[in-house]
């Protein structure tokens, strides 16, 4: 098959982004994140020849594991979780880059040994002292690892080399703990060394949201309160807690999805154009969005925020258990598996435009999308052919689908063929797969590569993390200080509780599936 013009351009651009020689150290080398995401992403980068020739991966784990056993485990994981099977010869050469060693997060001697191991790899393979540390470990162990790295001097680059650290979400449990973590990490690593990862920001479609806005003169002029009635941001999951009941009991939907993923997408949707596309300018504009969000008073929490919990229901014709029936979940749990809230931005662009964010487990579809609903025409002169009965013509709607079926669609009114002037909504659609004829890269591929290149634009900065927590703290405090006996419920396989529908209807709006 001949490559399209678009494919060739994308490939040429990518080749200019090959990083210099380095060693990537993965803490939590046998954990779920490493097996499901990191190793498949690194292998795909290797297969695309996007990694430097001199590159090693050192996996460290609490148990003893030989290089041979580690490589076999990673191959088994790749076979299970990767989108495609690896080329046997190519995997063999890739696996030669994998090494493994033991670690004790609380032992200074263990980190001294890690330092010696890195030095030996550098000497044996003539690799400069460029180090990328990845914390694929529980948040409770973050500070131990950070402080031990500092204690043995692995936080400080030498001889012009670089040292960086990637920290996974969650960054804190609330505003206070996020500030504490940022402060203590900042005592060991400079801010420009710290890469707080949110895989949502590595998705091609989230990045394309920026390109769509700022590279097209047709849309940016109408991306404001004069033309947009409201914005909906959805992250729906069909799965339940998947055996992670213990973790989910401590987090809930608001902390697990909205505080990081959805608020990041919200900022991308609402931000002003940066003066240049570099990390500081880009993240400055995102922080300005967070700072401009109208604070939610504790008194209005019940009117602008909805939480609920799924009960037993049917998914794809199969009955599934309710949340309280899941393994590791308290039978009297008040943890929300669904959350929706309304936010307002107090600035010139968005004053008066509500943003509705929602996420939930056990919804009918796995979907992440941004919906911009435009204001209706001021004077109706045509008849609607939607069968709604009220004569209203549907509002124009722009949908940016982040996953799956990635693409963009625009709904507008068109005349129905035949006599008369009846208007019916039609959709014009773009999708990545048919247009570019290529598989979208996994988010971790982009983000790992960016970290190696020192490009922090798609990573969260400390102030952005803290500001996103600030937005939600009145909600979390209200829930804590005024506990309820039961949460609203929704049946697994439905789009959520009736309370979420009422949240929109009070403003004369409807969620996407009802539009």
Helix (H, G, I), strand (E, B) or coil at 3: coil
Closest CA to 411 of 422, 400, 399: 399
> What is the 8-class DSSP label of residue 460?
B
Dist. CA 271–CA 282, nearest whole Å = 9
Dist. CA 437–CA 11, nearest whole Å = 13
Our CA dihedral for 66, 68, 71, 72, rounded to 10 degrees, sits at -110
Dist. CA 172–CA 469, nearest whole Å = 9
The 3-class secondary structure across 373-399, one letter per residue, is EECCCCCCCCEECCCCCCCCCCCCEEE
Q: List the structure tokens of 299.
A: 């008194």
Q: Which of 78, 131, 230, 261 is catalytic?
A: 261
Q: Is 261 one of the annotated active-site residues of the chain?
A: yes
Phi, then psi, of 435 in degrees rounded to 5:
-80, -45
* CA angle (64, 65, 70) in 5-degree steps: 155
Contact status, residue 504 vs residue 510, Cβ threshold 8 Å: yes
How much is the CA Rg of the chain, to the nearest whole Å? 24
Contact status, residue 258 vs residue 359, Cβ threshold 8 Å: yes
Q: HSE, CB side, 13 Å, CA atoms: give it for residue 346.
A: 6
Omega within 30 of 0 (cis) for the link into 311: no
Catalytic residue numbers? 261
């Amino acid at each position: 098959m001949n490559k399209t013009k678009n494919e060739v351009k994308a490939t040429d651009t990518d080749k200019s982004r090959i990083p210099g020689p380095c060693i990537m150290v993965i803490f939590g080398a046998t954990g779920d994140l490493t097996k499901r995401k990191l190793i498949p992403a690194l292998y795909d980068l290797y297969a695309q020849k996007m990694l430097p020739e001199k590159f090693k991966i050192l996996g460290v784990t609490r148990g003893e594991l030989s290089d041979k056993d580690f490589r076999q485990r990673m191959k088994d994981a790749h076979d299970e979780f990767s989108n495609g099977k690896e080329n046997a010869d190519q995997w063999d050469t890739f696996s030669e880059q994998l090494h493994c060693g033991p670690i004790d997060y609380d032992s200074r001697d263990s980190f001294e040994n890690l330092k010696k191991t890195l030095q030996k790899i550098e000497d044996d393979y003539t690799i400069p002292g460029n180090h990328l540390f990845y914390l694929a470990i529980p948040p409770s162990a973050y500070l131990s690892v950070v402080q031990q790295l500092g204690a043995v001097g692995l936080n400080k680059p030498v001889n012009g080399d670089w040292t960086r650290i990637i920290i996974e979400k969650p960054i804190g449990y609330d505003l206070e703990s996020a500030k504490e973590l940022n402060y203590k990490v900042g005592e060991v690593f400079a801010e420009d060394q710290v890469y707080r990862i949110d895989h949502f920001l590595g998705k091609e479609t989230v990045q394309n949201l920026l390109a769509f806005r700022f590279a097209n003169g047709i849309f940016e002029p109408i991306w404001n309160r004069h033309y947009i009635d409201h914005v909906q941001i959805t992250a729906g999951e069909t799965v339940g807690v998947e055996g992670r009941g213990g973790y989910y009991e401590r987090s809930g939907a608001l902390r697990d999805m909205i505080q990081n993923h959805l608020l990041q997408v919200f900022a991308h949707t609402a931000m002003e154009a940066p003066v240049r596309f570099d990390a500081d300018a880009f993240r400055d504009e995102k922080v300005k969005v967070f700072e401009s969000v109208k604070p939610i008073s504790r008194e209005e929490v019940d009117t602008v925020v909805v939480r609920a919990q799924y009960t037993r229901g049917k998914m794809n014709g199969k009955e599934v258990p309710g949340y309280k029936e899941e393994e590791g979940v308290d039978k009297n749990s008040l943890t929300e598996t669904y959350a929706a809230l309304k936010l307002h931005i107090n600035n010139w662009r968005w004053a008066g435009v509500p943003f509705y964010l929602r996420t939930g487990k056990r919804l009918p579809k796995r979907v992440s999308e941004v919906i911009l609903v435009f204001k209706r025409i001021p004077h109706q002169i045509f008849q609607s052919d939607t069968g709604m009965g009220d004569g209203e013509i549907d509002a124009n709607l722009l949908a940016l689908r982040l996953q799956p079926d990635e693409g963009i669609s625009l709904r507008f009114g068109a005349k129905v063929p035949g006599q008369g002037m009846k208007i019916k909504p039609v959709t014009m659609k773009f999708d990545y797969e048919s247009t570019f004829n290529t598989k979208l890269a996994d988010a971790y591929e982009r983000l790992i590569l960016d970290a190696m290149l020192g490009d922090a634009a798609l990573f969260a900065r400390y102030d952005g993390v803290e500001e996103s927590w600030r937005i939600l703290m009145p909600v979390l405090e209200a829930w804590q200080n005024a506990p309820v006996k039961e949460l609203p419920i929704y049946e697994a396989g439905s789009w959520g509780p009736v309370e979420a529908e009422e949240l929109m209807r009070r403003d004369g709006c409807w969620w996407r599936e009802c539009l």
